[in-house]
Structure formats: C-alpha cells, structure tokens
Amino acid sequence: MHVQVKVMPTTRMAPGPACQADWDLQFTHDSTSHYARVRNMPDMSAFTLTFFVNSASNRTTQYLVSYYTDVNQNMIVVRTNTFQVTVHGSAVSLSSINLHDGAWHHVAITWTRATNQSLVFFDGAVVNQRTVAGTTISGAGGVFLLGQEQDAGGSLDASQIFSPGRANQVRRWAGRGIDVMRLGKSS
C-alpha cells in the first residue's frame, strides 16, 4: 500500500452518522504515489461497495475510488468533489450532495447484472436508482484503486487525487446481495 494507514480505536465520530472505526485511511499528500491498490480482481456479475468518507477539502477534482479494467477504464469510479458515481462506464452526477463538509458520510453503491439495476445510497437513503446495462464486470487486467482515478493504461494524474481526506471501513463484495440499509446505520 502507498497510503498512510492510521489505526484508530473504536469510537463514535461526529458530527455525521455513527461510525465504528477499527481502522482509518488518511490521504494527506498531493502525490500520485499516495493510494491503496488491489490487483487481480475477480469477474463480477454483481457488486456492492461501501465506505465512510470524511473530507473538508475544496479541491476542484477528487476521486476516492477507481476500478480500471482492460475492457473499460471507468468501470467503477467515485468522484467526491461533485459527487458522481460511474458504473460500467455510465456516470450519474449527484451534485446536490456535499461529501466535503467535514462530517462523516456513509456511501454505498450496488449493481447486479441480473436486473441491470444500480443503486447509490448516501447516509442510508437511496439517492439514485438507474438501469446500467452491462455484462459481467471483467476482472481481466482490473486494478481497484483508493485515493486516485486511473486514466488510460492505468496512468495517474496528480490533479485527480483524494486529499486531504479520510476513508473508513471500505468494503467490496462481489456476486452477492448486501443489506446496504443496515450497513449505513452503524451504531
């Protein structure tokens, strides 16, 4: 990993929703070498991605999540400064949602090939539901990145980093349904 990981005690983080923190990713540097990466992802016919996020940054372009494959460089992308979620290359802007207010927020994103439905949750409420047609999300050449967006060929751009900010309890499930409403209401 190329990101500072600070282990924090279990605590209630305010002023946003409760968040039981047993670990915390802190993105503090403006550098293309500051990220967490997972390679060799499996093929996914469904996925759920959840995380808590906290930032008060006023940077113009920030990306927390990027999943790049040989098939599509924007397979899954989460842009945080103007909240935008991309699934299977199809983006939706949720600009009325402010992820950079200094509070902790819970975000969850789901997609399933069975129904071609994608859902985006913000602090436990559905804020977007749409049809996103696509086949299995290929793991071939797939790189899952936290803290930056990947461009063609997997290159990184310093103007697209997530910094300063924190992410907590980042979780990804492939091929199974998750009770996202329950996850967003941690106590």
Residue 182 counted as domain residue: no
State the Cα–Cα distance between residues 65 and 36, nearest whole angstrom: 10
Residue 161 counted as domain residue: yes
First to last CA, the chain: 29
User: 141-161 pLDDT, tens per residue?
Assistant: 688 888 888 877 678 888 888
Residue 186 counted as domain residue: no
Share of the chain above pLDDT 90, in %: 15
Q: Show the domain range for 49.
A: 4-177
Residue 169 counted as domain residue: yes
User: 16-72 pLDDT, tens per residue?
Assistant: 344 444 567 888 877 787 778 888 777 888 888 899 999 988 887 888 898 888 777
User: Tell me, what CATH number does 15's domain have?
Assistant: 2.60.120.200
User: 56-96 pLDDT, tens per residue?
Assistant: 888 878 888 988 887 778 888 899 888 899 888 888 999 88
pLDDT of residue 140: 65
Q: Is the predicted pLDDT of residue 4 greater than 70, yes or no?
A: no
Residue 185 counted as domain residue: no
Q: Which two tokens stand for residue 175?
A: 């091929």
CB atoms within 10 A of CB 89: 14
Residue 85 counted as domain residue: yes
Residue 91 counted as domain residue: yes
The reported pTM is: 0.79
Residue 183 counted as domain residue: no
**How many domains does the chain divide into?**
1
